[in-house]
Amino acid sequence: MTQDYGLSRFGLRPARVYRNLPTEVLVEHTLANQEGVLGMNGATMCKTGKFTGRSPKDKYFVEEPGSQQHINWGPVNQKISQATFDRLLSKVVDALTDKDLYVFDGFAGADETYQLPMRIVTQKAWHAHFAHNMFIRPTQDQLAAHSPQFTILNACDISATDYKELGLNSEVFIVFDLGRGLAIIGGTMYAGEMKKGIFSVLNYLLPLKGVLSMHCSANVGKAGDVALFFGLSGTGKTTLSADPNRALIGDDEHGWSDHGVFNFEGGCYAKCIQLSEEKEPDIWRAIRFGALLENVVYDPQTRAIDFDDKSITENTRVSYPLHHIDNALIPSRAGHPNTIIFLTCDAFGVLPPVSRLTPGQAMYHFLSGYTAKVAGTERGVTEPTATFSTCFGAPFLPLRPGVYANLLGEKMAKHGARAYLVNTGWTGGGYGVGKRMSLPATRAMITAILNGNIEKSDFRPDPYFGFEVPVQLDGVDAKLLDPSLTWQDPAAYRQTAEKLVGLFKQNFKTFAEAAEFEPFGPK
C-alpha cells in the first residue's frame, strides 16, 4: 500500500507517490519517462506541446460564499459554478487514479508570517522539477510537518471535451476553488500555469491581510536600499534588476508587508528568446544541471541550442532555482523599498526615457499599467498597439484594482518611497521610424535613480504627461532625455503624443472607483 500523503481527501488513489524527489532523481525520471532530454551544460530540455504560453481565457474561479464578494468578476476572473467544478474535478481524479504521481510540497512567500504552505500534484516528472525550481523548497523538518493550505492538481493530459455543455471557453481549464484551497488544471502542459496559479492565489489572500502583492522584480544595494521594478512582459524587469552591484531578491513576484519586501518564489522563470552570454550573463550562467529549458530549438545530434529560433514559440523559457544566480539574496527578503520604478516599453516613442513621479502620478500610472506591443513585422503592420494592464499584472489579480493601488499608496507614503517611470521602448519616432532605447543608456538612467544622482539634476515638466524630466544625467546624451528633440518631424511628435494622451484618458475611464487619481494623468 503506497503512502498517499493525504491525497485521498480529494478522492485520489495513486499507484505510487514520489514526493519531493531531489533534482537528480527528477531528471532521471524525466529522461526515463521520455518527457525531455539533456542539453546545454546538463540542463533538461522539455516541450510543452500545443500550448506554449498561458491560456488566460480558460481561467475560472468558483463562485463560493467565502470569496465571491471580494473577487473582481469579469473577463479576467470568470465565474464557474461549484457543480461544474465538481464535474471537472471528477475527470481530474479519474485521470490521476492508479497513476504514478509526483508531489511537490513547499512554500510560496519568503516572509514566514505570510508564507503559504502549498502542494503541486502532477503526472509529469518535469512538472515536479519545475515546481521544485520555482517554489520555496522545505527543509527535512518542514517537510515532515508540512500541511498544505493550497493544492494544485495538474492533469495536463486530459481535456474537457464536453466544454460547450459545461459553458467553458475551450477544452483547457484552470479552475480555482478558493473555499476548498484547491485548483485543477487540464488540457495544457504549459508549466507557467502552476506558477501563475499560485501567484493568483497569493494576490487574493495577501491584500486581505494588508500585504501588497506585486508583479515586479526587486533588488537590494549594499546599504540595504531596496528597489522594485514593475513592468509587463518584455519591458525589462528581469534584465534591469540583474545588477552586479546589487543582490537580487527576485525577478517576478513579491509581497510588501510591515516587515519589508519578500519574494514569493524560490526560483526564476526567464525568457530566453535571443539569449546571449553577452546580453544576459546571469541567465546564461544559470543554465546548467538543475535548470529546465522549455520549447527551445536544438540540434538533435549535438544538443546545441539556437536561442534565436522562434519556430516553436517566441515564449521560450528557462526555470532555475535562485541559488543558480551568483548574487541572489537567500532567504529572499529585505527592508522597505526606497525606490519604485515603473518600466514601460513605449512603441509610440513619446514618453521620456526617465521621469520622476509625484505620489498621485505614481497611483495613476500604477493603475494604468501602460506598455505598447508591436505587431509582427511579417504582416507589414507598423502601427503599435497600446496595452493597459492594471497594476502591471491584470491577468493575475482576483481583487479590484483599487485594493492594490490603495495599499501601494499607503506603503509608499509610510516609508517615503519615490517613484520613477522608465521608458525602455522607442526614441526618435515610433516603432518602424525611431530606434529602440539602448540598454546601456537605460542602465545609466537606472543607476542614476538608484545612487540618487538623478536628484542632483534640474528638471523640466513634460508638456503632455506633466511628470518631471531630468535635463541632464551622467552617461546619457542630454538630447535623448527630451523626446521632442529626437524626432525629425516635430508635428508628427505632437500628433503622436496627443494620440497617446487620448488612449490613457480613455483607459482611465474604466476606474470609476479611482476617479480621485484622474487629475494626475496627462493633460
Q: Which of 237, 254, 356, 418 is catalytic?
A: 237
- Residue 324 annotated to the active site: no
User: What gap in Å lies between CA 284 and CA 269, rounded to an integer?
Assistant: 13
Q: How far is CA 346 from CA 222, 444, 491, in A?
A: 32, 18, 19
Active site residue 336: no
Measured between alpha carbons, how far is 497 from 27 in angstroms, rounded to an integer?
52
How far CA 470 is from CA of 428, 456, 480, 522, in Å, comes to 18, 9, 11, 18
Distance CA 521, CA 255 (A): 26
Residue 4 falls in the annotated catalytic set: no
Cell numbers representing residue 272 in the block: 530566453
Q: What is the rounded CA–CA span in Å between residue 367 and residue 136?
A: 30
- Is 427 labeled as catalytic in the residue annotation? no
Residue with cell 503526472: 123
Of 91, 132, 146, 196, catalytic? 196
Residue 467 · residue 421 · CB < 8 Å = yes
List the catalytic residue out of 23, 81, 233, 438.
Answer: 233
Amino acid at 166: L
> Which residue in the block uniquely carries the three cell numbers 479552475?
175
The active-site residue, picked from 29, 30, 44, 54, is 54
Active-site annotation holder among 91, 132, 137, 215: 215
SS3 sequence of 95-157 = HHCCCEEEEEEEEECCCHHHCEEEEEEECCHHHHHHHHHHCECCCHHHHHCCCCCEEEEEECC
Residue 54 is a catalytic residue: yes
Integer Cα distance of 46 and 428 in angstroms: 41
DSSP-derived letter for residue 428 is S
Per the residue annotation, which of 317, 333, 336, 411 is the catalytic one?
317
Burial group, residue 212, by CB count within 10 angstroms (0-12, 13-18, 19+) = buried
Q: CB–CB of 460/471 below 8 Å?
A: yes
Q: Would you say the C-alpha torsion 293, 295, 299, 305 has a positive or negative sign?
A: negative
- Exactly one of 105, 252, 282, 346 is catalytic; which is it? 252
Helix axes 125-134, 192-205, angle to 10 degrees: 40
Q: Assess whether 52 carries a catalytic annotation.
A: no
Known active-site residue 209:
no
Q: At what angle do helices 401-415 and 359-368 cross, to 10 degrees?
A: 150
Is residue 196 flagged as an active site residue?
A: yes
Catalytic site positions: 54, 196, 215, 233, 237-238, 252, 317
